[in-house]
Structure 1
């Protein structure tokens, strides 16, 4: 081997050692920098004369792509689970601990206790005031809980907006780095130090994006990435798509998301693609994990169901006291027609008809529900919670003849309604088609009728108006009722009406107070699937207290399950974080060992150069 070759090899070794030392220095300096990936030199052996040398061709990032892909998946899952758990914990605080002071159950039990005291001392003015105060407390608590739930929904709406803004910024940064990488002078997957730093930054942006939504990442030969949603919609390539979200400033129980933009009163996440066109990611369900998915689910499902539960409870406690069902007695021979008074029906009140079909022998249950606009027809059978009930909406704005025509048309001749006045209708069946088994009307006592001789009365109102469960072009009256429920102002002005139900009521009469107590304790209702306490085919049925305990317990279980899921998800994420750190992070012991090896190699190469120098001097002195 010639001296020139030896010198060339030693110099190449020194250059490789210098590059290695620089990377060790960078690794040590960035050991605590989030997202920093350990770097190592990429070296190849080259022929140098009659020997071999080393050449540094770039920088390698010691990145385990498999662990990185797993980590991003778990980041999405952790973002989703943690956010949902945080929201459910906040919602749980609205309900309070069962039975504790300030809880919904405590307020309801306080009302029943106050009514029980009134039932034993109906002539006591303090007992009457006690009932009204307890009713006010319960109503105010329902109002407050509704506001709390809607505040959480508003927070979710703003959370989606902020997440979309963040996602757009991240996607632009990823696209920018993709374009910078096209000018990589080394080509292929080889990188230099500055390029490796760009890749670290891009990975950080992708990791942050994965916390917002579930993503899938592919890499080409030039180290450029393409980012897709988990469902396959491209987010980033050389250009970044743009997400937009039409956030609403006010969120209430009446605002709801709908896949039809014309009907939706809440925002959708829409992606505008670089080559034109757009996709509604919310409607298509393209985002299935991450914080955006969690915010969307909370806003449109979880919190809506919680509001439905409160609204149904408010509706049930109102109807338990104010709804009056009058059964039409079976006709006595020779009469064949049932008599029916439908004159006092309010929107949402029903005529309950049960008859046996002569052809099939099956019993049919029909609810003829009053509506005041044809625009809401036909009503779905879910307008009542009874899965065996067929609901027929009747537009009462058409007058008596129009009402009868609608009813008879819907019943197809099996049962016939007739008459010239809603207060004195006749109902008969055609024996060849049907036999009537039962007929009744359920009407709501208006807030102003406190002494009309009925024990039923409106203790609670819908912001001063009667709650009758009506359906109009603006939606169902039950929606948001818990936020509007209040105590009847007529009772506040005259508490004696809690006892005095007619002009002839005797002092100390307990008929109305006993009725109140019985209804609060024993009135049974069927609760629809929208409350989450049962299914469409098997709805939950029970009294007010059992229903309340059911949904409060359900919320508590949901919050606990969400917390356990979030804790488990974070354990998995932390485990992968450690694996990632072990595989791709900076280990100070390894770097120190590498530094010592580089120092020894540097010393050896320097010794070769020194020896070559001495030999050259000796040769020069020989001439």
Structure 2
């Protein structure tokens, strides 16, 4: 019996000593990043399971808390990226009401027009209007260029993040191979710690899910199910970025028209997956970069383009609007120019309302117009050719409606309305199931930037498109959208700068002190409602928004401020969630000095007890030998 006690006590000492070694390792790594608390499991051993033996060294890992940690890490990287850039974007637009903000530039310009109306004969007042107009154009341009700089920065960050994510994937695959080939428990635990740390690091770039395999390796997939790592095999990520993004650079699934980079996953077999097209990345810094580059910043650019267009056309266009009577109307299109879109409001057979937008062009009469480039992205949009002159407008519009029906190819119901007549009275009628409710158009009055003071109308080309040739802004689609990037090109008409008296005189025989044009310019900026696109995100995402240029500017400032505040609030909430997940993971898997010291005391007691057993067994043997 003493021999059995001796063997059992000796085994107990060995197990206790090994356990003390594990506790010592835990205490030594209390501050080590990624270290998961070790545990040693003892098992019964010896004859009749009367003894004890060391089992395996394990990791006190809670899979649920680790999964939550990675989820919140991914979310925090996403919200942080959005909040940081939203804050920068808000600063570009300026503090609401300040003289250096966008609305301050509009207000200063409006004030100069008001002062000119009070004293139209004052040369200094005229010069002030020109200066304030130039300052407004410069402010819009500066902000728009800042937006594009942020887009280019987002593009560069996407490239860097893709490279880093690719590095994490390669490291995970290498660790998978080492884990599968390792039999030593301590070494294996260290490798698993390293791999978990890499997986958590990867989750900051994109949302991932993991699937453990029998050999100890782990498969890594995106949240949408695209496999990134399978044992030691890696799906490589690449990004074909652009150095600088222009206002018209956009993401499309067609590589020949895509103006920005995309993230491509190349499988070991050579198959390529566009992760942006497949919506495979839904969180993390990569998702934030994609949303910023392709949604948030382009919307800010569209707001500025719409504002620039509103500033230019508010003072140069004649607004025509007619309500239908008995299902028909006649719209005066005298002076119509390419880009001066006609909006026909319709009631569909099922009682809904929908717009038909007809865009005059001097080119291909069958050219398709992207509704997103118009004021109403949900409208029917079709071009019609006006190169044949005003007498052909009705016939060309009728042909455009027929072309629209043919282009849609029966995929959806199309308007069955008719159009006829010439420029002064194009008649729209609804003999079928669709009902014409009304029509409107903004028609640019000047025929050239030089037409500033002899047309007998208050409209003037105060702002033009500084595209090299210095053309009128009409919203033309010949050959592309004039609206896109107009915020970077808007400038004051040099003809007005050279002859500031045109701010007052608009006839060949001007009357001294006539305030007609100054009053018109002021009202056009502050009182006349224009229609701004739903794509700008102002007032809703599905319907055009109507307000004055001054009111629209204020709404832009408000929207940017609200967006920045909302993003900041979301980021703060996500940081709390991440901190909670980190705390939960640390409580389950981290090292607690108090707990380890308590374990150490218990092990010391056990060690002393086993040593006492050995002493008693030795004394018994000594007594036996003396008999």
TM-score, scaled relative to structure 1: 0.87
For residues 602 and 431 of structure 2, what CA distance do their matches in structure 1 show? 104
1:99 aligns to 2:81 (yes or no): no
Q: 2:545 aligns with which of 529, 540, 546?
A: 540
For residues 389 and 195 of structure 1, what CA distance do their matches in structure 2 show? 62
Equivalent position of 1:333 in the other structure: none
1:593 aligns to 2:598 (yes or no): yes
Equivalent position of 2:43 in the other structure: 44
Describe the SS at the equivalent of 2:220.
strand
For residues 185 and 352 of structure 2, what CA distance do their matches in structure 1 show? 82
For residues 366 and 582 of structure 1, what CA distance do their matches in structure 2 show? 62
1:378 aligns to 2:375 (yes or no): no
CA contact (8 A) 1:309 1:531 kept: yes
For residues 549 and 71 of structure 1, what CA distance do their matches in structure 2 show? 41
For residues 109 and 128 of structure 1, what CA distance do their matches in structure 2 show? 16
What per-residue deviation string (whole Å, max 9, x for no partner) do you get for residues 99-129 of structure 1? 1231111111111100100111111111111
1:295 aligns to 2:293 (yes or no): no
Equivalent position of 1:144 in the other structure: 142
Describe the SS at the equivalent of 1:282.
coil
1:243 aligns to 2:237 (yes or no): yes
CA contact (8 A) 2:391 2:421 kept: no
Q: Which runs of 5+ in 2 are unaligned?
A: 323-328, 403-416
- How much does 1:614 deviate? 5.7
CA contact (8 A) 2:526 2:551 kept: no
Equivalent position of 1:459 in the other structure: 462
For residues 540 and 354 of structure 1, what CA distance do their matches in structure 2 show? 15
Matches within 5 A, 1:415-564: 415-417=419-421, 442-445=443-446, 446-453=448-455, 454-463=457-466, 464-473=470-479, 475-535=480-540, 538-564=543-569
Describe the SS at the equivalent of 1:182.
helix
For residues 168 and 410 of structure 1, what CA distance do their matches in structure 2 show? 50
- How much does 1:607 deviate? 3.9
Between 346-355 and 210-219, the greater mean CA deviation after superposition? 346-355
Matches within 5 A, 1:607-622: 607-612=612-617, 622=626
What per-residue deviation string (whole Å, max 9, x for no partner) do you get for residues 528-571 of structure 1? 21011245753221111222222221222222111111111111
CA contact (8 A) 2:393 2:421 kept: no
CA contact (8 A) 1:368 1:394 kept: yes
Report the RMSD for the aligned CA atoms in angstroms: 3.5
- How much does 1:176 deviate? 0.8
- How much does 1:12 deviate? 2.3
Matches within 5 A, 1:357-396: 368-374=358-364, 377-380=367-370, 384-385=374-375, 391-396=381-386
- How much does 1:6 deviate? 3.4
For residues 14 and 388 of structure 1, what CA distance do their matches in structure 2 show? 79
What per-residue deviation string (whole Å, max 9, x for no partner) do you get for residues 70-117 of structure 1? 111111111111211111111111122211231111111111100100
Describe the SS at the equivalent of 2:512.
coil
For residues 378 and 304 of structure 1, what CA distance do their matches in structure 2 show? 22
- How much does 1:428 deviate? 7.1
For residues 428 and 226 of structure 2, what CA distance do their matches in structure 1 show? 60
CA contact (8 A) 2:148 2:245 kept: yes
Q: 1:308 aligns with which of 298, 302, 306?
A: 302
For residues 207 and 514 of structure 1, what CA distance do their matches in structure 2 show? 63
Describe the SS at the equivalent of 1:235.
strand
Equivalent position of 2:278 in the other structure: 284
1:201 aligns to 2:194 (yes or no): yes
Distance 1:444 1:253, change over 3 A: farther
Matches within 5 A, 1:117-136: 117-136=115-134
For residues 592 and 53 of structure 1, what CA distance do their matches in structure 2 show? 26
Equivalent position of 2:26 in the other structure: 27
Describe the SS at the equivalent of 1:406.
helix
Describe the SS at the equivalent of 1:56.
strand
1:320 aligns to 2:310 (yes or no): no
1:347 aligns to 2:338 (yes or no): yes
- How much does 1:316 deviate? 0.5
- How much does 1:167 deviate? 0.9
For residues 87 and 588 of structure 1, what CA distance do their matches in structure 2 show? 41
For residues 321 and 603 of structure 2, what CA distance do their matches in structure 1 show? 98
- How much does 1:15 deviate? 2.4
Distance 1:426 1:151, change over 3 A: closer
CA contact (8 A) 1:350 1:443 kept: no
What per-residue deviation string (whole Å, max 9, x for no partner) do you get for residues 250-284 of structure 1? 11211111122221101111111123312111011
CA contact (8 A) 1:105 1:549 kept: yes
Matches within 5 A, 1:40-119: 40-47=39-46, 49=47, 52-119=50-117
CA contact (8 A) 1:16 1:55 kept: yes
Describe the SS at the equivalent of 2:252.
coil
Describe the SS at the equivalent of 1:89.
helix
Distance 1:173 1:435, change over 3 A: closer
- How much does 1:361 deviate? 14
- How much does 1:476 deviate? 1.2
Equivalent position of 1:573 in the other structure: 578
For residues 71 and 388 of structure 1, what CA distance do their matches in structure 2 show? 41
CA contact (8 A) 1:349 1:468 kept: yes
For residues 104 and 186 of structure 2, what CA distance do their matches in structure 1 show? 66
CA contact (8 A) 1:387 1:536 kept: no
Distance 1:605 1:458, change over 3 A: same
What per-residue deviation string (whole Å, max 9, x for no partner) do you get for residues 193-218 of structure 1? 11111111111111111111111112
For residues 245 and 573 of structure 1, what CA distance do their matches in structure 2 show? 29
1:257 aligns to 2:251 (yes or no): yes
Q: 1:175 aligns with which of 168, 173, 189?
A: 173
CA contact (8 A) 2:365 2:384 kept: no
For residues 374 and 48 of structure 2, what CA distance do their matches in structure 1 show? 94
For residues 301 and 267 of structure 1, what CA distance do their matches in structure 2 show? 14
Distance 1:565 1:367, change over 3 A: closer
Between 248-257 and 437-446, the greater mean CA deviation after superposition? 437-446
- How much does 1:294 deviate? 1.0
Instruction: State the number of aligned residues.
Output: 599
CA contact (8 A) 2:168 2:202 kept: yes
TM-score, scaled relative to structure 2: 0.87
For residues 570 and 624 of structure 2, what CA distance do their matches in structure 1 show? 78
CA contact (8 A) 1:527 1:534 kept: no
Distance 1:164 1:499, change over 3 A: same
